[in-house]
Amino acid sequence: MNLALTPYIQTPDAKSHPFDLLLAGAGEHPAVLAGHRFPANQLELIPLTPSGVLDFAALAGLLSRAAAAGRRVMLALQAVNNETGVIQPVAEAAQMVHGSGGIVVCDATQAAGRIPCGLGHLGADALIISAHKFGGPKGAGALCFASSSYHIKNALLRGGGQERGLRAGTENTAAIAGMAAALSAAKIRLAGQAGAHAIWRDEMEKEITRAIPDTVFFGTGAERVPNTSCFAVPSIEAELLLIALDIEGFAVSSGSACSSGKVKQSHVLRAMGAEAKLARGALRVSLGWNSRREDCLFFAEALKRTVKAIQARRDKSAA
């Protein structure tokens, strides 16, 4: 992401004017929200709807104002939100951005291996994936451009001619090969696994709702990847649930998996308009390639026991 988010991407239309406006969805990963090589005054956030989808009316307004001011736009939009699992309509956004002469950089880290996310499918100009998200080795990833006509003029790491001059340093060939093998395997199991995960996830959410009726699930008004569920139990803090569920043998997170161990209000849920107290109790649960239906049902039962125990202790303290 550090490499891709730069004003100095040379595009097939051969325009010499650098990009001078980075648009990003308000729920993007912190790696995107940092803006990287764009100055802070050249970054504008696009709000999300309550269901977690990019606000297209706001995007249209920003594109119109940018065109009137003669600004060149880059849109950073993730294919799948890393907290809620909401699938963003990247292809529709790309059509709007391309119509304004801009380009789209898509963070597909959460999408690879879970939904179809090729450059042609998404309509993006650049795509970013990370190997460990689909079973590959940690530390390997890829930045893919829609054609060889795209080029980054100011590489972050300079030196030799590795990676076509984009990133100096000897390539980790073993990790790259492992990433390719893992991606091939993920593609093979995609259809069957996605269908099973969707059924199990929905069944788990129904069981949780039956046992804890006031549970709030986020992003259910939009299309989600099948392996992710984000929810909160009103009046119970995420930290309490994280500790209790860890004792039960379940590794879950408050927010995205890469922020595991940190308990703070989610910027994604804030962008969706979630009430602050409720958002502070949000947990993210995700299924992996080796997850089973039984795991989902066991989790629902463990959550039921955990919430019941927490509520019982509070009632006893209040008595």
- Tell me what the pLDDT averaged over the chain comes to: 90
Least confident residue range of 3-17, 89-103, 228-242, 287-301: 3-17
Q: What residue ranges do the domains of the chain occupy?
A: 9-179, 191-318
CATH number for 9-179 (one of 3.40.50.10490, 3.90.230.10, 3.40.640.10, 3.20.20.30): it is 3.40.640.10
Least confident residue range of 7-16, 209-218, 226-235, 237-246: 7-16
Does the pTM surpass 0.85? The reply is yes
Q: For 95-118, what is each residue's pLDDT tens digit?
A: 999 999 999 999 999 999 899 888
| Banded model confidence at residue 191, pLDDT cuts 50, 70, 90 | confident
* SS3 category, 197: helix
Do 9-179 and 191-318 show the same overall fold?
no
Which residue type does 195 have?
G
Does residue 64 surpass a pLDDT of 70? yes
- Residue 196, pLDDT score: 93
Cβ neighbours of 276 (radius 10 Å): 9
Q: CATH topology for 191-318?
A: Aspartate Aminotransferase, domain 1 (3.90.1150)
More confident call, 254 vs 284: 284
Phi, psi of 104 (to 5 degrees): -125, 125
- Residue 193, pLDDT score: 86
Strands 73-78, 103-107: pairing kind: parallel
| Banded model confidence at residue 80, pLDDT cuts 50, 70, 90 | very high
- Residue 87, pLDDT score: 97
- Residue 14, pLDDT score: 66
Does residue 256 surpass a pLDDT of 80? no
- Residue 260, pLDDT score: 47
Strands 151-152, 9-10: pairing kind: antiparallel
Q: For 174-184, what is each residue's pLDDT tens digit?
A: 999 999 999 99
Phi, psi of 232 (to 5 degrees): -145, 145
Helix/strand/coil percentages in the chain, nearest 5: 40, 15, 45
Element (H, E) at 128: strand 126-130
Does residue 127 surpass a pLDDT of 60? yes
The closest alpha carbon to 114, from 287, 308, 271, belongs to 287
Question: Do residues 286 and 228 lie in contact, with contact meaning Cβ atoms separated by under 8 Å?
Answer: yes
Q: Is-catalytic flag, 258?
A: yes
Task: Tell me the percentage of the chain whose pLDDT exceeds 70.
Answer: 93
Q: Could you tell me which residues come within 8 angstroms of residue 233 by beta carbon, excluding any fewer than 6 positions away? A: 212, 214, 215, 216, 241, 281, 307
Q: For 6-18, what is each residue's pLDDT tens digit?
A: 999 888 886 668 8
